[in-house]
Amino acid sequence: MVGVSLRSATVRDGLAAQDFAYDLVVQGQGAKRIEVLRDVLVAPEDPGAVLEAMQEAQIISATVTEKGYHLDTGGQLNLTDPSIAADVAGQGPSTLIGLLARHLATRSTPLTVLSCDNRTGNGAVLRAAVARFSQAAGLKIDWAAVRFPNAMVDRITPATTDALRRAQGDPMAVPTEPFREWVIEDDFAGPRPVWPGVQFVADVAPHELRKLRMLNGAHSLMAYAGLVRGHTFVHEAVADPQIRAQIGAFMDDAGRTLPVSVRDEAPAYARALIARFENEEIRHRLEQIAMDGTQKLPYRLVAPLREGATAAAGGIAAWLEFCAAEVARGAC
């Protein structure tokens, strides 16, 4: 497997020093040595090498932040975004969208592009962005040969700490919780992979909404309310009686906005989430969750609010208070 960093060489350099192996440290279960990577490419250094590596792939997985889609306020690819505009003009490519479009324009063999991030309808959104890019750049793509399944991944993976690195003796160790859930739309261009523990379903949307509105929405609420009240970690915020009450009310409300097929699961899922948030060993920093709120809140809090989850308003108010505090201290 070949990994790609769209920005920094830091991860590549760290992994290269240990033959691209690293420890996955699962809380309560110990460490597992991951040795599937044979290389990590850095797109800004050599986009041609990335495009060449893509030729060998049958599945390209993509995990980017909300900003990595480069969408405008209407949800379409923003062609005036400087990075996208440069890629359209043939300078690069440097973005996920540009790399995929340029690659697909040269490909006729089957390929599955699998989004593994928190974006709602991530596969469909990525396909639409690539299509808009290709039209603007005058590229022709064989759409019959490529699939963009939607997917939902649920596993809390906080940033690595120096303490964990020292304990493992591995500067590239990755911490995570024992819980994991991966649901993928059964829409592959080639044979469906045999991945233990993965659910392949006809429609990911109900599972995705359950996670986005209840876990991610509660995370955002906790991040802003917790930071304003002086907390640092998720387990501290959930132990705050005021914030805990807000989270409980929000998840109750959000559960009632879910599709009927998963609505009955909401109470048990909410209880499981509280237990996961209380885990002191997963030192998930609130400031990590709070990043890029303008990109995340529309579907984590605003969408459920519009569908009747009135407790989401408390999360939006906490975000506004957090932003005001950041401006007051000169952070933005």
Task: Report pLDDT digits (tens) over 221-254.
Answer: 999 999 999 999 999 999 999 999 999 999 999 9
Is the predicted pLDDT of residue 332 greater than 70, yes or no?
no
Whole-number Cα distances in Å, 297 to 210, 302, 317: 15, 6, 11
Is the predicted pLDDT of residue 264 greater than 80, yes or no?
yes
Class of CATH domain 2-201:
alpha beta
Residue 73 pLDDT: 86
Is the predicted pLDDT of residue 86 greater than 90, yes or no?
yes
What DSSP assignment string belongs to 206-234? HHHHHIIIIIIHHHHHHHHHHHHTT--BH
Pick 205-328's CATH classification: 3.30.70.100, 1.10.1040.10, 3.40.50.150, 1.10.260.40: 1.10.1040.10
Whole-number Cα distances in Å, 146 to 60, 129, 149, 240: 11, 14, 10, 48
Distance CA 5, CA 17 (A): 16
Is the predicted pLDDT of residue 80 greater than 80, yes or no?
yes
Question: How confident is the model over 4-33, as a mean pLDDT?
Answer: 95
For the chain, the structural domain boundaries read: 2-201, 205-328
Check for a shared fold between 2-201 and 205-328: no
List the end-to-end C-alpha distance of the chain, in Å, as a whole number: 39
The pTM assigned to this predicted structure is 0.85
- Number of alpha helices (DSSP H) and beta strands (DSSP E) in the chain: 16, 11
The winner for highest mean pLDDT among 120-134, 150-164, 276-290 is 120-134
Round the average pLDDT of the chain to a whole number and report it: 94
**Residue 162 binned pLDDT confidence (cut-offs 50, 70, 90):** very high
Q: Is the bond into 149 cis (omega within 30 degrees of 0)? A: no
Residue 241 pLDDT: 97
Sign of the dihedral defined by the CA atoms of residues 199, 3, 66, 84, in that order: negative
